[in-house]
Amino acid sequence: MRIIKLNAINSTNTFLKQLSVQETVVDYTVVQTNYQTNGRGQMGTSWSSNTGENLMFSVFKDVSFLGFDQHFYISITVALAIIKTLKAHEISKLSIKWPNDILSENKKICGILIENSIKKNKFKDSIIGIGINVNQTNFENLPQASSLKKLTGKVFDIEELLIDLIENLKHYFLILENRNFEELKSTYEKYLFRKKKPSTFQDIEGNMFSGIIQSVSQNGNLQVLLEDAVLKEYNLKEIKLLY
């Protein structure tokens, strides 16, 4: 496994993406940094982190074996690998806030940004960016954020977490490559935040409404039971689950 360590970089995803254009990059090549000047999250959000206190990296994975309609299984695979890693380090009350924020005790501790490359109308590879709040304890103006240290009172070895996580990514991607889709989806849904609980959502126009999360579809849409007993699907751009 090749690990490229950088003291500071604008974005590990951007760095790894550029590297993959310049040279042949093998599976599970990692770009890790102590600090990101322009860390990014889903839907253009930013990711803020103190220098050297958290695990921030991107990993390269060939996903050419997947069809377009199976893209969400990359998110599922990555989320489950993170859950398995954190459970092994005794982090409790873990859940996945759709599509792929990782929570503990209802606080966000990990974000994921997946950027897929397409060639000749087929998936080519995926750059998977992962940021885990590890030893940082101050999250000014981020009331829903926490870290492994805040949750447990312990200081964690960031390099050990990285190695464990890469091994778990290999484990779950092997399951994916063996096309055990139902196993992955059912496990993901067990951890789905607020599943089967009345929740409040916001649509793209800012309107708030109530519903109950039932599951996710094969292509990753959130399936919500509405007040009129209608099951409706929403994609990431259409709905936001409020805390």
Residues 182, 209, single domain; the answer is no
Residues 202, 91, single domain; the answer is no
In the prediction, which pLDDT does 19 show?
Answer: 96
Going across the sheet that includes 55-62, the strands are 3-6, 30-33, 55-62, 122-132, 107-119, 101-104, 94-97
Residues 235, 147, single domain; the answer is no
Report which of 41, 243, 233, 194 is spatially closest to residue 132, judged by C-alpha positions: 41
Among 9-23, 33-47, 134-148, 176-190, whose mean pLDDT is lowest?
A: 33-47
Residues 167, 237, single domain; the answer is no
- Is 152 in contact with 137 (CB distance < 8 Å)? no
Greatest CA span in the chain, whole angstroms? 54
| Phi, psi values for residue 193, rounded to 5° | -60, 130
Residues 66, 162, single domain; the answer is yes
| Phi, psi values for residue 227, rounded to 5° | -60, -25
- Is 101 in contact with 109 (CB distance < 8 Å)? no
- Please report which confidence band the pLDDT of residue 84 belongs to, taking 50, 70 and 90 as the band edges: very high
Render the burial of 40-67: b for 16+ CB within 10 Å, e for the rest: beeeeeebebeeebbbbbbbbbbbeebe
User: Which residues, other chains included, contact 225 with Cβ-Cβ below 8 Å and sequence gap of 6+?
Assistant: 211, 212, 213, 214, 231
CA count, 13 A, side-chain hemisphere, 242: 13
Residues 83, 179, single domain; the answer is yes
pLDDT at 168 over 90: yes
Structural domain that includes position 89: 3-190
pLDDT tens digits for range 184-212: 999 999 999 999 999 999 999 999 999 99
Domain finish residue from 190, 213, 228: 190
pLDDT tens digits for range 182-191: 999 999 999 9
Residues 137, 215, single domain; the answer is no
- Please report which confidence band the pLDDT of residue 48 belongs to, taking 50, 70 and 90 as the band edges: low
The whole-number average pLDDT for the span 145-166 is 97
pTM of the model: 0.93
Residues 36, 77, single domain; the answer is yes
Residues 173, 236, single domain; the answer is no
- Please report which confidence band the pLDDT of residue 49 belongs to, taking 50, 70 and 90 as the band edges: low
For the chain, the domain total comes to: 2
Residues 43, 139, single domain; the answer is yes
Q: Tell me how far apart the alpha carbons of residues 81 and 177 are, in angstroms, rounded to a whole number.
A: 15
Report which of 119, 122, 133, 1 is spatially closest to residue 60, judged by C-alpha positions: 1
Structure tokens at 143: 């009331």
- Please report which confidence band the pLDDT of residue 96 belongs to, taking 50, 70 and 90 as the band edges: very high
Residues 102, 209, single domain; the answer is no
> Parallel, antiparallel, or unpaired for β 107-119 and 101-104?
antiparallel
Could you tell me the CATH number of the domain that includes residue 45? 3.30.930.10
Q: Cis ω on the peptide bond leading into residue 198 (within 30° of 0)? A: no
- Please report which confidence band the pLDDT of residue 46 belongs to, taking 50, 70 and 90 as the band edges: very low
Residues 229, 133, single domain; the answer is no
Report which of 125, 175, 170 is spatially closest to residue 25, judged by C-alpha positions: 125
Report which of 56, 70, 77, 65 is spatially closest to residue 8, judged by C-alpha positions: 56
